[in-house]
Structure 1
Amino acid sequence: MYVELKHINKHFGNFKASDDVSFGIEKGKLIGLLGPSGSGKTTILRMIAGLETPDNGDIIIDGKIINNVPASKRGIGFVFQSYALFRYMTVFENIAFGLRVLKKPENEIKERVAELVKLIGLEGLEKRYPSQLSGGQRQRVAFARALAPNPQLLLLDEPFAAIDAKVRQELRHWLKEMIAKLGVTSIFVTHDQDEAIEVADEIIIMNKGRIDQIGKPLDVYSTPKTSFVASFFGQPSIFKDYSKFNSFEAIDGAEQAIVRPEFVKVTKKDETQKYGKSAQEGVVTDVAFRGSGIELTVLVNGETLTARRSFDEPSVSVGEKVDVFVYRIFVTAGDNAYLLENKSFRDPVIVI
């Protein structure tokens, strides 16, 4: 492993920000640190950068323990969510800043900055100041500034948080392509699930200072190993008694059920219902336009479920009675998550 954290603990007073955190990252990978506010992900990033010191445990980069190495000597690039560009420096000077600190020759600085300006697609804007750039352009400059000294590791703290939705989507693709092209090992912190799934090679899910799960985005999303991870993604409906829904196997010690919108099929009364025997009647309580489709809130047997329909399907109205088929469900017992499939859909599959 190129980057390793071994049994890292960090307290801020009585608050435990990192609780025996251990993981490894292969060279050249783009890793997403994902979790809710207060889960400890930014603390981990800052300890790797040298901006915080662990109470105990080791941080290892390229086989060397760096706990006592000053931040300036770690060879790490850091991109902040607020850009942190120097307002009175041009694009050129912002990117060149780290190279000047290292006292690189002027011809080498000009060559490196020109290379990076081309890489981030801002040729011709070298003399502009940050106030003359869009949010997306400023973040690209911050990215180039972090890369200028050729860091061995790139850290990004919610790099798209201050950017509007459309530009954020564009920058996600751009960042993934740039990291792949440069081959620099990178870790980015985010609380945006879609962002982590789309950009990261692997995701590390954090909760209350601990790691709940590590894996490829699809694996973490589709086969959560803990109740927290199962309930973290998407817009889940959570309730206790899943026996209200037909044709699911009983799990000993079951505490709650988690149903994601994609697990629910809503059909109008005059539409064909393939699994009619297991479908149940529900009442639509809300209809919302979500850009990529229609989001429905449906009341079934006293439980509220969220479901989706496409624009191509006939419209559904608030107050309308519909058929609701729940074909998949997560059930949690203790800290374990089990995936069950409706018996009328196929034989149940359990993932622990």
Structure 2
Amino acid sequence: MTLLSFDKLRIQLGERVILRDVTLSVAEGEAVGLVGESGSGKSMTVRSVLRMLPAGAEVTGSIRFGGTEVNGLTGAGLRRLRSRDVAMVFQDPRATTNPVRTIGDFLTEVLRDQGVSRADANRRATGLLADVGVDHVERRMRQRPHELSGGLLQRVVIAAALATEPKLILADEPTTALDVTTQEEVVAILNEQRHKRGTALLFISHDLELAAAVCDRIAVMYAGEIVEILPADRLHEDARHPYTRALLRSRPGAVEPGSRLETVPGSPQSASDVPAGCVFADRCAHVASPCRDERPVLLPLDTGLAACHLLAKETPHVA
């Protein structure tokens, strides 16, 4: 059953277009990865779920959570969405926590706001810390954020996200500020806990391999649009859009040791400056005349969906 859906979501700031016709769904208990270069619109897509958009943003299209239109929520409905139904894990845990308050205060605040007693809130908080692999939980509850490493503090933030048993977790590049080993540990914990609790996950990452490891499906964004959606376990075999395949070729593991790493030609495109046709036309090695004149739409292809004129004509794999 669909928990979250975007239908032709468009966000504009003045004359600047941020998102164009984003259509995507997340089922109950499903993990969907949103990948792409910086500026592609990933974070804005996720933030729109909680209406955490810049002042003056014009939103058209639909965002539905549990069958309810998010853009129509006010008052108690919006507060419930933000404080109970949906939790968010940001990129920098130190920007999320209050440096002058203890970890215990941070974890129990949301529970106390819901009428949970202090003793029960403390008990649940220590249990959550243990669930996400934090040791010496009683001591950690008394510490402040600056006394914890980045990886340990991100585990605390994940514990806080799980505190209200949300139906959906929005993870906005939660491992970017961490070293590789800690990244793997944090992602493993997030994946384990969402499986254990049946929580859906919308996971933003620049790292296709990381997203594929934790997600059921991958949605690839470019210049404010989704250009391909496919099962995570078929990412390498079934990726068909030229942009997705270019991203896969630019990974360090895609070339032999000592070989020159491939790059995606050109510069990332802004959604407000895209050509009239395909958003990737100016960087695509296979561009043809229809690509510059007409926008392609997401169409079923193999195991997923792709927006590409060349693929719509059922041409062979674009290599």
Q: Is TM more than 0.5 here?
A: yes
**What SS does the aligned partner of 1:189 have?**
strand
Equivalent in the alignment of 2:116: 104
State the superposition RMSD in angstroms: 2.7
Shift of the 190–261 alpha-carbon distance from structure 1 to 2, 3 Å rule, reads closer
In structure 2, the residue matched to 1:63 is 67
Q: How many residues align?
A: 261
Per-residue deviation, 1:333 = 5.0
Distance in structure 2 (CA, Å) of the matches to 1:37 and 1:305:
18
Q: Partner residue of 2:229?
A: 214
* Distance in 2 (alpha carbons) for counterparts of 1:119 and 1:208: 38
Tell me the equivalent position of 1:73.
Answer: 80
CA offsets, 1:175-215, max 9 Å, x none?
Answer: 22221112111112111222112221111111111111111
1:117-266, aligned counterparts within 5 Å? 117-124=129-136, 125-235=140-250, 261=254
Is 1:350 the equivalent of 2:316?
A: yes
Secondary structure (helix, strand or coil) at the match of 1:67 reads helix
The alpha-carbon deviation at position 130 of structure 1 amounts to 1.2
What SS class does the counterpart of residue 120 from structure 2 fall into? helix
- Counterpart of 2:47, as a letter, is R
- Work out which of the two has the higher radius of gyration on C-alpha atoms and give 1 or 2: 1
Give the drift of 1:336. 5.2
Q: Shift of residue 36 of structure 1?
A: 0.7
Cα deviation for residue 351 of structure 1 reads 3.7
- Displacement of 1:224 in angstroms is 2.2
Measured in 2, the distance between the counterparts of 1:112 and 1:197 equals: 31
- Deviation string, structure 1 residues 270-312 (Cα, Å, up to 9, x no partner): xxxxxxxxxxxxxxxxxxxxxxx72324xxxxxx979xxxxxx
1:76 is aligned with what amino acid? Answer: V
1:91 paired residue number: 103
Structure 2 residue 259 is matched with structure 1 residue 296: yes
3-state DSSP of counterpart to 1:295: coil
Over 3 Å counting, the alpha-carbon distance change for 1:212 and 1:27 in structure 2 is same
Higher relative contact order, chain-length normalized (CA < 8 Å, sep 6+): 2
The one-letter code of the counterpart of 1:44 is: T
> Once the 2 structures are TM-superposed, how far is the Cα of residue 337 of structure 1 from its aligned partner?
6.5
Match of 1:20 in 2: 21
Q: How far, CA to CA, are the matches of 2:11 and 2:132 in structure 1?
A: 36
Deviation readout 1:223-253 (Å, 9 max, x if unpaired): 22322112122327xxxxxxxxxxxxxxxxx
So what's the TM-score if we normalise by structure 2? 0.74
Q: Distance in 1 between matches of 2:190 and 2:152?
A: 13
One-letter identity of the residue aligned with 1:7: K
Matched-pair contact (CA < 8 Å) for 2:29–2:198: yes
Shift, 1:31, TM fit: 1.3
* 1:139-196, Cα deviation, whole Å (9 max, x unpaired): 0001111121222211111101111122112222222222111211111211122211
Aligned identity (percent) is 24
**What is the letter of the counterpart of residue 101 of structure 1?**
D
Q: Which of the two has greater strand per residue?
A: 1
CA distance in 1, matches of 2:154, 2:183: 10
- CA distance in 2: counterparts of 1:235 and 1:144, whole angstroms: 34
Question: Which structure has greater helix proportion?
Answer: 2
